[in-house]
Homo-oligomer: A and B are copies of this chain.
Amino acid sequence: MVEPAKSSPLSELRIALPSLPMRLQEVGRFVAANDYDATTRSMRDLAAVAGADPAAFTRLAKAIGYSGWDELRAALTEARRPSEIAPFSVRAKSRRHGPNADVTLVTDKLEAEGAGLPRIPAQPVVEAARALNDAKRIWIAGYRSCRSVAELLNYELRLFRPEQVQLVGVSGPDDLDLGAFRPGEAVIVIGFMPYTHASVRVAQAAHRAGTMLIAIADSLSAPMAEGADHVLLFEAASSPGFFPSLTGAIAIAQSLAAVTFSLGGKAAKKRLENTEARLAAASIYVPEKG
């Protein structure tokens, strides 16, 4: 016989369900099926939707051992709270000093990052790509470790929009570029904690100039995300290691470039072909072997 986990309020509910009065069972099933609304909407709202009496919710909570509906709802809320910390930290800790601790370090790291990628919300990426597609010019800024992300984005976008994409600070001091931001253009800033002053300054300059601002960051409360028109979030701290992970940022950058290219249609495709042809003519690449 499997003993259901009692840690979750929903399983407590399911256990007690069969021995409850009929009306309370209905309400209980409703709560179990709609636990998100149970945590957010009011008791009377739920009662109206469930077609039951408001008092039934109080009675249900008491019937399964809570002092009242408020306490049950609090438990449901906590159960649903998004986990901020990586759940495998315990696991990593337990095996850290094994014989081949380094191998498990790599394995855990890759696993965690692999799990983190699908959690990146896709919708904002698409919206940001639309904004890029409309922009007359695209500036990209990233400092220290984020410079690599900025350069990758710069490289890929320039494959099909060579004249309109530019890294901030390549052709002189950053300050000169900051003054060149114009409405109708777009600025992409990449950064995570700790945030560099330089990246924040770029974001502020963009906002002041009325330029479309896209932030790729690890938190909504990142200083360069304030006032940004689009914020693309990735999990920098999701994996073990001595340094925050950039895999998420890279994945976002590549998705952004891919969608922007797809939005560019035939014109973008044509320009990519031109670029490839030019590279081939300069024999940059090693010819493929048969």
Q: Is the CB of B14 within 8 A of A220?
A: yes
> Which residues does chain B contribute within 8 Å of A229, judged by CB atoms?
2, 4-5, 11, 15
CA distance A32 to B114 in the complex (A): 26
Within 8 A of B (CB), among A30-86: 32-37, 39-40, 49, 77, 81-82
Most buried by B among A107, A198, A259, A286: A286
In the assembled complex, 18 residue pairs joining A and B whose CB atoms fall closer than 8 Å, in A order, are A4-B212, A4-B230, A5-B229, A7-B127, A11-B124, A15-B228, A34-B87, A102-B129, A102-B262, A103-B123, A107-B122, A110-B120, A110-B255, A114-B115, A151-B151, A152-B246, A159-B243, A245-B254
Binding site for B on A (CB under 8 A): 1-2, 4-5, 7-8, 10-11, 14-15, 17-18, 29, 32-37, 39-40, 49, 77, 81-82, 87-88, 100, 102-107, 109-111, 113-118, 120, 122-127, 129, 131, 144-145, 147-149, 151-152, 155-156, 159, 183, 193-198, 200, 207, 210, 212, 219-221, 223, 225-231, 240-243, 245-247, 250-251, 254-255, 257-259, 261-263, 272, 283-286, 288
